Structure 1
Amino acid sequence: MSSSTLPKPQMHGLLAKHLRIHIVGAFVMALGVADSYKFGVAEPRKKAYADFYRHYDSMKDFEEMGRAGIFQSAK
């Protein structure tokens, strides 16, 4: 028969230890998600808007809509 005993569990400071680890992980994950959104969504969207408005002619678009009969007050 062995007289070995189980080690005592850590009771004091356990929450603080786990919170420290999880807060660092959450911060790193949040930065990763923010960077992914910036470079995966925001930057391509900005580029698409810039490309569209670089060659956009509002008067030409207005005249085409007028010919199509969209406007009732402007002929």
Structure 2
Amino acid sequence: MSSSALTKLLMRVFLTKRLQFHIVGAIIVSLGVAAFYKFAVAEPRKKASVDFHRNYDSMKDFQEMRKAGIFQSAR
């Protein structure tokens, strides 16, 4: 076996191990970011939306906007 073939084989093994390490790391980081986004951003938005719509009175809001002069056709 020549030294060139041995060097290519060693580099291929090194590349394979390094890629495996980085792929696993990338998967772990992406799952961590997804979990962080879900619990830090998405869940509070859902809760705020539910709380807003629980107490929302569309007619009261309409009357306030009408008094403010937002609508041209409703006086």
Q: TM-score range by the shorter chain?
A: 0.7 to 0.9
1:26 matched to 2:7: no
What is the RMSD of the two structures over their aligned residues, measured on CA atoms? 1.2
Unaligned runs of 5+ in 2: 1-6
Map residues 1-75 of structure 1 onto 2, 5 A cutoff.
Answer: 10-75=10-75
Tell me which protein shows more helix as a share of its residues.
2
Q: Percent identical across equivalent pairs? A: 64
Query: How many equivalent pairs are there?
Result: 67
Could you tell me how far 1:13 is from its partner in structure 2? Answer: 1.5
The whole-number CA distance in structure 1 between the counterparts of 2:23 and 2:12 is 19
Paired residue secondary structure (1:56):
coil
